Amino acid sequence: METRCVSFDGSSSKPGARIILATMFVIFCWAYSPIGIRIGLQAYDPGHLALMRFLIASVFMALVAMVKGISRPRLRDLPLLAVLGFFAVSLHHIALNYGQRGVSAGAASVLAQSTPLFSALLAHFFFKDRVSGWQWGCVVCGLFGAAVVVAGDRGLGDINAHGLLILLAALSWSLYFSLQKRHAYRYDGLTMVCYTVWSGTVLLFIFAPGLLIEAQHASVSVNLAVLILGIFPSALAYLAWAYVLAHSNVSRASMALYLIPPTAMLMASLVLAERPSVMVVVGAVIVLTSVLALNLEPVKGANAS
């Protein structure tokens, strides 16, 4: 998942062991997310799983907000915060959970990294930004790689809509990221994250009926996996990532996020005994290479030093 945050405390320090540890923590947290979802779906409906996860995250973020302190939202900004919560939390995670009913955890982590491809499309068609030929080529190659992942995950004869739902989740996150980037000046990073999480959680309350019953019937291991989902990928990882971005080069730090899919595949093989097919691995390489190339567009007229 992409995010854009600023320092919560305004402090600065040289990159070092803490930056590396924080980055590794973020990678493992976000790599765990598809594994935790897979485990949670053993006992929870996709809607109930999303609500339970973000109820936990909302409580945790409320505790952080009480300690750190956040500003109150302006009345005129409430619609914007609701829209951000819808795309970042509600739609994103509902699509993700339903999609993972038919997509392996490793493949889901790859498809979720296609967010920059959709961001480029949104920049061109909705925000009227210029998209270069290089970027168009990266988008086309990346979407081809996503198609290879979807086909390779279930087999050519068993393709269904679940992979498209993961891509819808990536598109939803792209919409959130594009809107948040254009309105980030209104609030500091922690405040924006808190209100996004809380507003998205409120919208998920349409899935509240039956949640308590499912929670009571779920095993201890499943509820533990959901608790980890709510605290680590949905809350602590954002705080750790904000720390990384505040104390290191943003572009360089973002490169580390491309380690999430291979880490997720390794974790899925250990925890869920999933073995990605050759096509999934090939598609993953195409997607990640395309996304990486999208962020490393050569500058025209640059002189070699």
**Vertex 68, ends 194 and 73: CA angle to 5°?**
40
Q: How confident is the model at residue 200 (pLDDT cuts 50, 70, 90)?
A: very high
d(CA 127, CA 143): 21
Is the pLDDT at 226 greater than 90? The verdict is yes
Joined together, the tokens standing for residue 261 give: 């899919």
3-state secondary structure of 140: helix
3-state secondary structure of 294: helix
Is the pLDDT at 21 greater than 70? The verdict is yes
Nearest to 197, CA basis, from 28, 23, 70, 15: 70
Is the pLDDT at 302 greater than 90? The verdict is no
3-state secondary structure of 62: helix
Tens of pLDDT, residues 29-50:
999 999 999 999 999 999 999 9
Tens of pLDDT, residues 65-96:
999 889 899 999 999 999 999 999 999 999 99
Tens of pLDDT, residues 267-281:
999 999 988 888 889
3-state secondary structure of 73: coil
Q: Given this model, what pLDDT does residue 139 score?
A: 85
185 or 33, which is more confident: 33
Is the pLDDT at 105 greater than 60? The verdict is yes
